[in-house]
Structure 1
Amino acid sequence: MEAAKRFARGGYDVIIDGIVGPWFLDPWIKVLQDNYEVHYIILRATKEETMNRAINRSKLDDNINIELVEKMWGQFNNLGIYESNIIDTTDQSTEQSVSTIKAVIEKKSSLLTI
């Protein structure tokens, strides 16, 4: 977190990529209190597409991938107040997703607030 803040203070745009559900937002809320701009964007495809993508990963075997994705899908399927922060990547290429993310950041439509 501190490294990200240093880069931001240095004028860099900082993107943190990971699995960050609403239950992990407390550190980011603290960053807001330090007057940083924090966008919370969730990339989510349909369950079917998510499962297809997971099965094609080679890091874990199929059964473990399926089990993990089933669990994460359930956790990210209904995000309440954060549903508007979702970008549906089902039919998007990587390039299209990047363009959509950039547009959301420019519009400031997924900013976290205190």
Structure 2
Amino acid sequence: MSELIVVSGPPGAGKSTVARLLAEKYAPSALVVGDAFFGFLRTGYVEPWLAEAATQNETVLRAAATAVNAYVTGGYATIYDGVVGPWMIGAFAQAANVPRLHYVVLLPTVECCVERALARSEDSLRDADAIRQLHREFAAAEFDPRHVLRSDDDPTEQLQLAIQNGSLLYRGP
């Protein structure tokens, strides 16, 4: 059985960059991009940051976690890049159903997140108010602080060491 590493945080936190760099450090590896699962929805889509998207988001998260399970049990170190807030990590872990899950929340400053997100392509979330809202939700969430990296700089090396020493292992609620 291989490792599962969940790289989370608000938009603009650096999840995709860090997840891609981590995936390159393992062989074999799989990089599962959580946002891709929203693309499977055809009708009834609700912007994920809105309160009325809760059921949709739970469904998408379970679908992604099920896919993650296939890669992990198939022998791939699997890096999941997606918005998995502390309020959802338990459901994600249950649906992924793997023995070891490393969980990290990248949480640079809100200004850094907004700046990075607004500099992206047009198909990304570019609503500064929504980005600030998601950042507030992560910042206000109650969970073990060892899972949070607050740097505006690239934390990839620090993250890899934390994974190796097991300090980011998710142990449940």
Report the TM range for the smaller structure's normalisation. 0.7 to 0.9
Q: Alignment identity in percent?
A: 23
Work out whether 1:76 is the aligned partner of 2:138. Answer: yes
More helix by share: 1
- Name the counterpart of 1:25: 89
Aligned residue for 2:140, secondary structure, equals: coil
The amino acid across from 1:80 in the alignment is E
1:56, 1:2 → 2: CA distance? 32
1:8 matched residue in structure 2? 72
Moved more, 100-109 or 82-91: 82-91
CA distance in 1, matches of 2:121, 2:69: 34
Pairing 1:65–2:127 present:
yes
> Could you tell me which amino acid in structure 1 is paired with residue 80 of structure 2?
I
Confirm or deny: 8 A CA contact 2:107 2:151 kept in the other structure: yes
1:45 aligned to 2:103? no
**In the alignment, is the contact (CA less than 8 A) between 1:50 and 1:69 conserved in 2?**
yes
- SS of aligned partner of 1:20: coil
**Distance across 1 between alignment mates of 2:166 and 2:95:** 17
SS for the counterpart of 2:127 is helix
Q: Which range is displaced more, 78-87 or 8-17?
A: 78-87
Higher strand share: 2
User: Unpaired segments of 5 or more residues in structure 2?
Assistant: 1-64
- The 3-state SS of whatever aligns with 2:163 is helix
Closer/same/farther in 2, CA of residues 109 and 65 from structure 1, 3 Å limit: same
Deviation at 1:28, TM superposition (A): 3.0
CA contact (8 A) 1:29 1:113 kept: no
Shift in CA distance, 60/67, structure 1 to aligned 2, threshold 3 Å: farther
Query: Which sections of structure 1, spanning at least 5 residues, go unmatched?
Result: none
Does the 8 Å CA contact 1:42/1:85 hold for their aligned counterparts? Answer: yes
Corresponding residue to 1:86 among 144, 148, 154 = 148
* Residue correspondences, number: 108
* Backbone CA RMSD of aligned residues: 2.5
The TM-score, its normalising length taken from structure 2, stands at 0.54
Q: Distance in 1 between matches of 2:102 and 2:110?
A: 24
